[in-house]
Amino acid sequence: MRVPILAAVLVLSGLALAQPTSNSPIAWGSYTIRQEAGLLRIIRADRTQVEIKGGQFEVKQLELTGQAPAELWINETSGPHTTAYFFTQEQGFRNLLIYRGRTAGVLEVRDVDGDRRPEIIVGTDVFADFGGLPREVYPRLTYILAWDGVRYVDATARFPTLGFRTLSYYRTALQDALIQKDEVNARSAALGYYGRGLITGQADEAKTWLMANTPQAIRRWLLDLEGEVIRALYTDLACRMTVSYSRSLPPKPVCNR
């Protein structure tokens, strides 16, 4: 089951995805979703359960738990920044996940392991403005978030060949850049290759290959950045993922980035 982000009304495999037009109310079981300028409210029995401040909102309903009713997925966009909110009615109304993607976000919702509980594939801009690379060519990593029975956790290492930017993707991009003598894109691909290895538990393999197959200038550049790369990735998801029980969202940022 795949649920890409769409800005239209679709029905895919029995899964209703809706974006309201003219801010019309949306029914979600016994709840109603209402929008006004800069604000979205989730209402039940004329009482606001949660309000989310932001710019533009996309609202979707999709099955995340394997049991009806469907869950609620809200994408809030303010300028280039995006935040995704997931709510459920199962065992009472509650927030399942907030993902602060900034200039990245939720890329896809898909059951990658066949357990009928979809994983959430997200992007990260952790390497934007990193190592002197131009912002337009920074490597865009992806994580896979899975439900562990209590909360969503990072499961990327369980699925190293899945996602949108895998080791093979970055290896090919690096080899192409080296052939074209494009050092900027070669550095970007090398950073993406090593970063991907770090988040999938393949760091030793990635570093060994890079040390054996890249020019000295790129190796030296990457080794000089290595400590910064590890620190950035170590805190990345902790700064982006949260759960909130507050009625007023968004919550305060976990990290000052």
List, as one string, the DSSP characters of 236-250. Answer: HHHHHEE----SEES
Pair 120, 107: CB distance under 8 Å: no
Domain ranges of the chain: 1-99, 103-244
Q: Is 0.85 surpassed by the pTM of this model?
A: yes
DSSP letter at 252 equals P
Q: How far apart are CA 41 and CA 124, in angstroms?
A: 27
pLDDT at 1 over 90: no
Q: How far apart are CA 3 and CA 118, in angstroms?
A: 10
Q: Read off the pLDDT band of 13 (50, 70, 90).
A: very low
Between strands 119-124 and 71-78, the pairing is unpaired
- What does the pLDDT average to over 135-161? 92
Question: Which pLDDT belongs to residue 14?
Answer: 36
State the CB neighbour count (10 A cutoff) for residue 205: 13
Gyration radius of the chain over CA positions:
20
What digits encode the pLDDT tens for the residues 31-45? 999 999 999 999 999
Question: Which pLDDT belongs to residue 254?
Answer: 73
Question: Which pLDDT belongs to residue 164?
Answer: 65
